[in-house]
Amino acid sequence: MLDNKVVAAEVVEAEWDRFVSLNEFDCDEKTMDKEELKEFYAMKRKILAQMVAGRLTIDADGIPSYSTFKTKTPVTITFYEPTGASMMAMDRKSKGQDVAKLFAAMGDMCQVDPKTFALMHAVDLKICMSLANLFLA
């Protein structure tokens, strides 16, 4: 558990820019429609809030690690760049099992059992899903 660590907003914005750049995420707001912008801002707000709180860190290579804080048994989850195997993990699930497919891809990306996400508190899970969606978009 982190000791009430707080990171300055300016530092977090710079870290966000570095994170986006190192991972080559497409975050060009000029190309997003109104609904995409709404979803993007909501996701970015969630991620930045966790960075400010010190629960989400980005290493020198742009790899994020998130320390859960609401989940019964706290864990730190590291999000590695997805590979083709991450996408293939979704194929093992049946049509209509959209959450299971996402958890399978997240499990592969994070090198954890997908059940890890099923056991997470919704607050922690939403952060993890936001990070995954950035990588999978």
Q: Model pTM?
A: 0.87
Spell out the SS3 assignment of 47-111: HHHHHHCCCEEECCCCCEEEECCCCCCCCEEECCCCCHHHHHHHHCCCCCCHHHHHHHHHHHHHC
Q: Give the pLDDT confidence score for residue 125 in this predicted structure.
A: 97
Q: What is the pLDDT averaged over residues 33-37?
A: 93
Count the neighbouring beta carbons within 10 Å of the beta carbon of residue 109. Answer: 23
pLDDT digits (tens, 9 = 90+) for 44-57: 999 999 999 999 99
